């Protein structure tokens, strides 16, 4: 009887391995293409960034990241988190963080940003019942091209 149970367990394990999630090799293969190296601009930057805050029915944060190079740029992330938004009060204390209490995969990931292409990251915060002046900090969590932009805004 115990050998039948063991066979069922082994069959179930094989089924899980065969039908479970798979790593997509085409994404990592893109990072090994024979593309020319990244060419920085005269000021040394490969990426241009801008952040925007919109206050209407809550607060919307937007981070735009544009590849300035004439070829693709590979962004490397140490885990599943690609970006983050933080709200600081007028004294510099953290009021809200988008990534707080979120879980991210612990796998290294690479994303290709094509020549002249823009990646946009957008998140919302309800703002609670807070009033006053705040600073939004938008971050690209790339280990090879980290970005941080700050935007002042007010909640009436």
CA–centroid distance for 91 within its chain: 27
Top pLDDT among 17 and 117 is at 117
Domains of the chain with CATH codes: 45-155 (2.60.40.2360)
Q: For the segment 36-60, what is each residue's pLDDT rounded down to a tens digit?
A: 444 444 455 789 999 999 999 899 9
Q: For the segment 98-136, what is each residue's pLDDT rounded down to a tens digit?
A: 999 999 999 999 999 999 999 999 999 998 889 999 999
Q: Which residue has the tokens 């790339």?
A: 142
Q: How far apart are the first and last CA of the chain?
A: 71
Q: Which residue has the tokens 């879980």?
A: 103
Q: For the segment 49-95, what is each residue's pLDDT rounded down to a tens digit?
A: 999 999 998 999 999 999 999 999 999 999 999 999 999 999 999 99
**Whether the model pTM is above 0.75:** no
CB 75 within 8 A of CB 66: no
């Amino acid at each position: 009887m115990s050998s039948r149970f063991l066979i069922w367990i082994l069959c179930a394990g094989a089924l899980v391995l065969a039908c479970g999630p798979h790593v997509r090799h085409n994404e990592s293969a893109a990072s090994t293409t024979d593309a020319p190296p990244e060419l920085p601009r005269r000021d040394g930057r490969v990426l241009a960034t801008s952040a925007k805050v919109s206050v209407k029915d809550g607060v919307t944060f937007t981070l735009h990241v544009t590849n300035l190079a004439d070829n693709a740029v590979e962004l490397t992330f140490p885990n599943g988190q690609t970006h983050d938004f933080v709200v600081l009060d007028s004294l510099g204390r953290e009021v809200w963080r988008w990534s707080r209490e979120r879980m991210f995969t612990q796998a290294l990931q690479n994303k290709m940003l094509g020549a002249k292409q823009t990646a946009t990251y957008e998140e919302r915060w309800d703002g609670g019942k807070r009033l006053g002046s705040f600073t939004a900090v938008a971050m690209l969590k790339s280990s090879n091209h980290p970005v941080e932009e700050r935007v002042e805004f007010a909640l009436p």
